[in-house]
Chains A and B, each alone.
Chain A
Amino acid sequence: MARLSARDLTLQYEQRRVIEGLRTEIPEGKVTMIVGANGCGKSTLLRGLSRLLRPAAGAVTLDGKDIHSRPAKELARTLGLLPQQPTAPDGITVRDLVGRGRYPHQGFFRNWSHGDSSPHDLAVRNALDATATTELADRNVDELSGGQRQRVWIAMALAQETEVLLLDEPTTYLDLAHQVEVLDLVTDLNRRRGTTVAIVLHDLNLAARYADHVIAMKDGAVVAEGTGIDVITEELVRTVFGLESRVVPDPVSGTPLIVPIGRHHYPAPQATETTKPALEIAS
């Protein structure tokens, strides 16, 4: 059991306050998506939740205990994190990289663990299996494609075997197919292992589809939270993004699907057909 929550959380960089007095909870055993406009503080919140940023006031608690009061390694066995664009050391192989996720499980003097049957090797193998990267295990991370590389990083986070996993924009720079693949993978993880997952995601439609729980943020505060259907409405898209839209049921999953309106298209179809093309040519 692992319940991550923020109590009156205030986060700031130097003098700039990004989040003030925020209260929220990452529900256990569910996939939570944190959404909001650029600069609304969602990545900052994730950094705060994952102890990369020490709160200026308030606290982040895991099972009721302040995360900053717990030994770093112990916490890392429960709470895992994948930052937005992690660095892979030059020339490292996939297996080595994934193996580094085992760090919090290894004692100081246990520099090496031998044998295929050790729990560490098992965890690494499972992580490779789960992300379908076993084939790539002996290749250099440098030579992988963007999608493969992201799978490898997720494999590393899996090898950490935590109950809670936080991901910051795991789909950045990926094409649509790879985005879906990554989110499917995370969902598998949640369904099979019961891992609590929290993801900062830009794409509202994908967020709505994969989320059990949505936290919508604006200007450093939570404006709405709940299930995707409850939270993602035309009204919310207007408040959070300042965008007019239609929200229709996703034909595949039934979750909310946002269709943005913009300035050049109008909901009434006839009016646009005659005038618009001419305008476009003119400009």
Chain B
Amino acid sequence: MSRTVERAIVEPERTVGALKTAEKGPQLYVRAERAAKGLNRTWLLAAAVVVLFVASILLGSYTVTVPDFVTIVTAHLTGGEKIPGASFIVMETKLPRATMGLMIGVAFGLSGALFQTMLRNPLASPDVIGISNGASASAVLAIVVFGASGAAVSVAALFGALTVALLIYLISRGGSLRGAGGRNGNAAGNRLVLAGIGIAAALGALVSFLMTRADIRTAAEALIWLNGSLNPATWERIGVLLLALAVLLPFTAALAKPLRLLELGDDTAAGLGVRVGAVRLGLVLTAVALAAVATAAAGPVSFVAFLAGPIARRVTGKPSLPASALTGAVIVLAADYFAYNLAPLLLDATVLPVGVVTGALGAPFLLWLLATSNRKDA
């Protein structure tokens, strides 16, 4: 977003020119068409999520036919007869894995999009501003020093993420979260990003240090967690995640409208009747909570939160929260399909943590976005 602002400043003539042509042209028609396009593309993303979800259950190193799948699920629900082997793999591995991937994708995607939009800064995703690092440091501390595993690690991660978020918020609160107003005077926002990056660096160092103090096996285990992995997917964990999302998604939906006004600048938003301070606080809390619960469930899957917003924007042509959520899910599901089914073939049966794949594939994609974003300004 700041690029568009920068551009508007660099080439006022051009932006003004663009506005002018828009005024002249069949504006309503264009607008309607664009809205339709955005909506269609959002459906397209939803379809991609469904396809990937189904594919990761049915296909891969262990394939399941559709009738078998139906039989297995009905049997599981009604307590009927199970198919030996297949029932277990579907119900205890494939289905929970895909479900959790879908959910954390949605949570990370939304969290990143909320932060980026609110702070008007493409760098401001939870992985950059230290919230993921808070979770990591706390979880690694739990693993290495207290020998924690399973749910205890998740609790530690949640605690770490929330503590760091609170810390960053307190630090940046100097003049409340209100920006200086105007179209991009966002001093508090900048301060939040800065404080986050500083804290992230310190926590990153702490994690590195803890890794050197641990037994090598513990360190390897911690490394998997640090990369973010769907291995710990269990129904129990999914239940908790579902509960959290059931609370957070309505909040997000309610905040979406004032957020769109905040994009116009704090002063403008206030002029339109938005309670800027309260909305910002709500947004921060929601975004942090989304990132925190997803991280607690699967570890800090890198880049999903960072990338979902920009990609969604490119696909649908406008910033959109639902599209960001769906994009997050697409990224996680596709990456995990690769990590779980394809990577072992290439890497002597090593199952990669999903976060390694999102990072390795996400980075070139972001670079591509960057290189091409000049021509087609989203």
User: Which residues on A are within 8 Å of B, measured CB to CB?
Assistant: 13-14, 16, 18, 38-39, 41-44, 84-85
Contacts and interface: CB of A to CB of B under 8 A. Distances in A.
A85 to B, nearest CB: 7
26 contacts: A13-B11, A13-B14, A14-B374, A14-B375, A16-B14, A16-B17, A18-B13, A18-B14, A18-B17, A38-B16, A38-B20, A39-B13, A39-B16, A39-B17, A39-B19, A39-B20, A41-B13, A42-B13, A43-B12, A43-B13, A44-B11, A44-B13, A44-B14, A84-B9, A84-B12, A85-B9
Nearest to A53: B11
Nearest to A172: B12
B139 to A, nearest CB: 38
Contacts of A16: 14, 17
Contacts of A14: 374-375
By Cβ-Cβ distance, the 6 closest A-B pairs, closest first, are A39-B17, A39-B16, A43-B13, A38-B16, A39-B20, A44-B13
Interface string B1-40: 0000000010111101101100000000000000000000
B12 to A, nearest CB: 6
Interface in B363-378: 374-375
Nearest to B375: A14
Nearest to A12: B14
Contacts of B375: 14
A38 B16 CA distance: 7
Interface residues of B, number: 11
Contacts of A41: 13
Contacts of A39: 13, 16-17, 19-20
Contacts of A18: 13-14, 17
A43 B11 CA distance: 8
B112 to A, nearest CB: 29
A41 B13 CA distance: 6
Contacts of A13: 11, 14
Given A14-B374, A41-B13, 18 more contacts: A13-B14, A16-B14, A16-B17, A18-B13, A18-B14, A38-B20, A39-B13, A39-B16, A39-B17, A39-B19, A42-B13, A43-B12, A43-B13, A44-B11, A44-B13, A84-B9, A84-B12, A85-B9
Nearest to A43: B13
Contacts of B12: 43, 84
Contacts of A84: 9, 12
A203 B44 CA distance: 50
Contacts of B14: 13, 16, 18, 44
Interface string B346-378: 000000000000000000000000000011000
Contacts of A38: 16, 20
Nearest to A16: B14
A118 B4 CA distance: 44
B11 to A, nearest CB: 6
Nearest to B377: A14
A84 B20 CA distance: 21
Nearest to A38: B16
A13 B19 CA distance: 16
A44 B374 CA distance: 19
A84 B8 CA distance: 12
A44 B20 CA distance: 16
A41 B17 CA distance: 9
Interface in B251-300: none
Nearest to A200: B13
Contacts of B9: 84-85
A14 B374 CA distance: 9
A259 B368 CA distance: 53
Contacts of B16: 38-39
Contacts of B19: 39
Contacts of B20: 38-39
Contacts of B17: 16, 18, 39
B315 to A, nearest CB: 22
A14 B372 CA distance: 12
Nearest to B14: A13
A14 B373 CA distance: 12
A16 B7 CA distance: 15
A43 B17 CA distance: 12
A199 B374 CA distance: 30
B375 to A, nearest CB: 6
A119 B20 CA distance: 48
Interface in B79-121: none
A39 B17 CA distance: 5
B20 to A, nearest CB: 5
A138 to B, nearest CB: 25
A192 B13 CA distance: 33
A37 B58 CA distance: 62
B33 to A, nearest CB: 21
A13 B20 CA distance: 17
A231 to B, nearest CB: 21
A108 B263 CA distance: 44
Q: Which of B9, B13, B375 has the largest number of chain A CB atoms within 10 A?
A: B13
A1 B19 CA distance: 41
